[in-house]
Amino acid sequence: LIPMKRDEKSLILTLRQAVKRGIARNVVILLFMFGFVPLVILTCVFFGFYFKSQVRSITNVQGEIAEKISVGMTSYLEKTKGQFQYFARLLHPLMDDPEKLKSLAYELMDQGPEYDMVVVADVKGHEQCKISRYYTLTPAELGSIASSPAFRSASKGRTHISQMKVSPFSRLPEVLITVPIHDERRHPNGVLSVG
């Protein structure tokens, strides 16, 4: 055996320590890769499933709420439509008196704070009376509704409920309910349209 010098011993010792440190570092990296990374991946997968589950749950709840609102709105519109049909019976004898029509229209508007506008038109579609809760109309602003689908439907004896739109007067969402006005022999004599 050849005796080693001190420098050689320290060099060998340094190499052994470097190898040990490299192995330790590699072991830590492997533990990290096989322990922590799969944990992160599993957490992401779990969160993805949880998120989808929550979205599905919220969508179901919103669907149930929308269904209840729809049933309530349909019931309310049917009740209101019946009130307007009854009120339209009172209007037939007054079709030639715009002042009395206006007075009755204001009485109808006072029946519900949600009523925005009341229009009474004759059998040709010419507005005889038009009032709004939010706007004062002049007689010069009376026009014709003869071209509207609501008038055409009501003039054939059917009730028409429009799609929701924004009221030109209140700037709030509005549905127009248009019902026919009949004479004593059930012939159309005009229409009543309420927003």
CB count within 10 Å of CB 160 equals: 21
Q: Are 178 and 151 in contact (CB under 8 A)?
A: yes
* Residue 162: its H or E element: none
Beta bridge partners of 188: 182
CA atoms within 13 A on the CB side of 127: 21
pLDDT in tens, 72-121: 888 888 888 888 888 888 777 777 777 888 888 888 888 888 888 888 88
pTM of the model: 0.62
Listed residue (77, 75, 66) closest to 162, CA to CA:
77
Give the three-state DSSP class for 184: coil
pLDDT in tens, 127-174: 888 888 888 777 777 888 888 888 888 888 888 888 888 887 778 888
